Amino acid sequence: MSETKPPLDPNLKALESEAIHIFREVAAEFERPVMLYSVGKDSSVLLHLARKAFFPGRIPFPLLHIDTGWKFKEMIAFRDRIAAEFDLDLVTHTNPRGKLEGVTPFTHGSSVYTNIMKTEALRQALDAGQYDAAFGGARRDEEASRAKERIYSFRTPDHRWDPRNQRPELWSIYNGQIRKGESVRAFPLSNWTEVDIWRYIQAENIPIVPLYFAAERPVVERDGMLVMAEDARLELLPGEVKRRETIRFRTLGCFPLTGAIRSNATTLDDIIGELETATVSERQGRAIDRDEAGSMEKKKREGYF
């Protein structure tokens, strides 16, 4: 932000340049791009890179937030503050089935709930906007099926991913040729790792949701997960006790499905230090990945990001 900001190290600089290149390429090749904005740390980095890519102009596409209605309150407050501060075109969408049919993570189980409120909602929003390209913040180091995803990931008109039939991707030359109705998911952060994300947030002073930093918060332990117990909609089950603990989140999603970790990391330095000695991956806290082997691949085939 100030003139004294030290230059990025060559590793982050290379990752940044690659991401900016991808942003510009997609914006130039597609008619109606959109950027998925999940309000998490990766989205915050993605947004920062988009601002850099199109500077001194505005970001030439809208941001789309799929709001399941079950996000942490702090996430929604943060989203609205950022949208105002950076003058963003923010589109939000919630699957009306949530209200109509009373679909919640408690009544329908994490798998059905995710499918309706996230995957189906995303398809609805992409169709409504007639977007032909959608940026996402997925990284290849996150999960095994993502390790094989292209930077330009082709989708059929019904948003399906066919991992067996992906277009070869050589050098940094991307094939953006599609027919009407087809689309591409573009992943500028493909080659970033979790530590890179945190180092970049630190180096670039990028604002993130405070839930990533440790603080004393109300929690209950459920199915081996630490669930934050702040929202009145979380009903305690028999035997569950609400207590206050010093926790933080490594990833953010829907509060009933995202496990916190016990941590005292209150600064970016603390978080990076914690990561370097971490023995579990960040997705460990995500209930939806644990349903079955290959569950991410299955969700992705159906149109999930």
| Interaction site with other proteins (CB under 8 A) | 3, 5, 9-17, 20-21, 24-25, 27-28, 51-58, 140-141, 143-148, 163-164, 166-173, 175, 177-179, 190-191, 193, 195-196, 276, 278-281, 283-284, 290, 293-294, 297-298
Angle between helices 41-54 and 194-204 (to 10 degrees): 60
Residue 116 · residue 108 · CB < 8 Å: yes
243 φ, ψ (degrees, to nearest 5): -140, 165
Nearer to other proteins, 235 or 292 (CB): 292
Nearer to other proteins, 68 or 114 (CB): 114
Minimum distance from CB of 22 to other proteins (Å)? 10
Is the bond preceding residue 56 a cis peptide, omega within 30 degrees?
A: yes
Strands 261-262 and 243-248: antiparallel
Minimum distance from CB of 294 to other proteins (Å)? 4
Nearer to other proteins, 168 or 238 (CB): 168
Minimum distance from CB of 240 to other proteins (Å)? 24
Minimum distance from CB of 260 to other proteins (Å)? 15
Minimum distance from CB of 142 to other proteins (Å)? 10
Nearer to other proteins, 168 or 239 (CB): 168
Dist. CA 33–CA 278, nearest whole Å: 36
Minimum distance from CB of 157 to other proteins (Å)? 13
The total of other beta-carbon atoms located within 10 Å of residue 197's CB is 25
Dist. CA 290–CA 218, nearest whole Å: 24
The total of other beta-carbon atoms located within 10 Å of residue 161's CB is 22
- Compute the half-sphere exposure of residue 259: CA atoms within 13 Å on the CB side of its CA: 19
Tell me which DSSP letter residue 213 carries: S
Q: For residue 265, what are the contacts with CB-CB under 8 A and spacing of at least 6? A: 213, 214, 248, 271, 273, 274
Minimum distance from CB of 282 to other proteins (Å)? 9
Nearer to other proteins, 13 or 73 (CB): 13
Dist. CA 37–CA 137, nearest whole Å: 8
Nearer to other proteins, 68 or 190 (CB): 190
Nearer to other proteins, 49 or 209 (CB): 49
Residue 142 · residue 288 · CB < 8 Å: no
Nearer to other proteins, 179 or 235 (CB): 179
Q: Which two tokens stand for residue 142?
A: 């996150």
Q: Helix %, strand %, coil % for the chain, to 5?
A: 40, 15, 45
Minimum distance from CB of 25 to other proteins (Å)? 6
Dist. CA 133–CA 127, nearest whole Å: 11
